[in-house]
């Protein structure tokens, strides 16, 4: 193998290893908020499903998922689901979770069609991206719905959870100026740290949230709102692969079986090759 192919293989390998790390920032370069989905937390998934059906289903379908599967996996009794979570009397529990908005209408109203969200957390940036997106709406009077989004600039979706979260403003802050090595700089006369103004993604990357909640707006506190969008992101993490927990459970048995089987294959192999030296 030549040197060139060698270094190419190596860099491809390194890229493959670092792929999960590269997904941390969104397309707009805005750092994402941390969230760790938990599929064992059935209560969280149930709350997420409820929020989804109340606030998102009008525009975004979940066309690869059935109501009955959601109810069974999340432990929601069918009757409860039909009475409190399905609003269209023609919809039966075995139906796919589709909606009736036509793509043409939505293009006219929003300038873009709301995508199906069943597989969303697998296709785009994971549940962390969705979580950051739902926390990322801020006031912007230049946009048709009066809001913009930190991770999805100029998004065509209104902030549908604004009654819960309230408004946010995108503000700049003064933060300590750092040297190239990351050390703070002190003014030798005043002994104060030297500061500089930072905005947006740069500010966020330093661990300071550039979004400020507007006092007196929204029915939930910021912590309660974070819980709502956590549950929602957790739920869409579930819909992207409903079999995930089962797959992991079976995977353990498969590996145990292979380990067990290996012993006998090895012994058999030794038996066969006993005569060759």
Binding site for ligand HEC (CB under 6 A): 55-56, 58-60, 106, 110, 112, 114-115, 117, 120, 124, 130, 133, 152, 155-158, 160-161, 232
From the CB of 18, what's the least distance to ligand HEC, in Å? Answer: 23
CA distance 79 to 94: 12
From the CB of 91, what's the least distance to ligand HEC, in Å? Answer: 18
From the CB of 21, what's the least distance to ligand HEC, in Å? Answer: 21
Closer residue to ligand HEC, CB minimum distance, 71 or 155: 155
Which residues, other chains included, contact 51 with Cβ-Cβ below 8 Å and sequence gap of 6+? 228, 231, 232, 235
Closer residue to ligand HEC, CB minimum distance, 55 or 64: 55
- Name 211's bridge partners: 170
Of the candidates 256, 263, 225, the one whose C-alpha atom is nearest the C-alpha of residue 33 is: 225
Closer residue to ligand HEC, CB minimum distance, 35 or 203: 35
Q: Could you give the C-alpha distances from 250 to 10, 240, 246, 255, 256, in angstroms and in order? A: 33, 19, 6, 9, 10
Closer residue to ligand HEC, CB minimum distance, 103 or 254: 103
Sign of the C-alpha dihedral computed for residues 81, 82, 87 and 93 taken in this order: positive
From the CB of 55, what's the least distance to ligand HEC, in Å? Answer: 4
From the CB of 257, what's the least distance to ligand HEC, in Å? Answer: 40
Closer residue to ligand HEC, CB minimum distance, 130 or 203: 130
E strands, the chain, in order: 62-66, 96-97, 137-139, 147-149, 168-170, 173-176, 195-198, 211-213
Q: Please give the residue whose beta carbon sits closest to ligand HEC in the complex.
A: 56
């Amino acid at each position: 193998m030549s040197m060139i192919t060698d270094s190419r293989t190596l860099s491809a390998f390194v890229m493959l290893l670092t792929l999960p790390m590269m997904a941390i920032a969104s397309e707009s370069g805005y750092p994402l908020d941390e969230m760790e989905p938990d599929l064992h937390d059935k209560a969280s998934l149930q709350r997420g499903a409820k929020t989804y059906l109340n606030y998102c289903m009008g525009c975004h379908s979940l066309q690869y998922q059935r109501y009955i599967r959601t109810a069974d996996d999340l432990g929601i009794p069918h009757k409860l689901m039909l009475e409190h979570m399905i609003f269209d009397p023609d919809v039966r529990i075995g139906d796919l979770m589709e909606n009736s908005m036509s793509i043409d209408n939505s293009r006219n109203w929003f300038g873009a069609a709301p995508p199906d969200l069943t597989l969303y957390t697998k296709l785009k940036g994971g549940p962390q991206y969705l979580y950051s997106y739902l926390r990322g709406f801020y006031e912007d009077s230049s946009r048709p719905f009066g809001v913009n989004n930190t991770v999805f600039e100029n998004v065509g979706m209104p902030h549908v959870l604004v009654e819960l979260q309230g408004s946010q403003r995108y503000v700049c802050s003064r933060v300590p100026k750092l040297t190239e090595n990351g050390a703070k700089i002190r003014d030798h006369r005043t002994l104060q740290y030297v500061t500089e103004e930072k905005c947006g993604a740069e500010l966020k990357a330093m661990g300071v949230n550039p979004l400020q909640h507007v006092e007196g707006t929204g029915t939930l506190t910021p912590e309660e709102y974070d819980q709502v969008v956590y549950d929602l992101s957790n739920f869409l993490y579930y819909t992207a692969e409903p079999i995930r927990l089962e797959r992991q459970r079976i995977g353990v048995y498969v590996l145990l079986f292979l380990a067990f089987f290996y012993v006998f294959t090895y012994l058999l192999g030794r038996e066969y090759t006993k005569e060759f030296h």
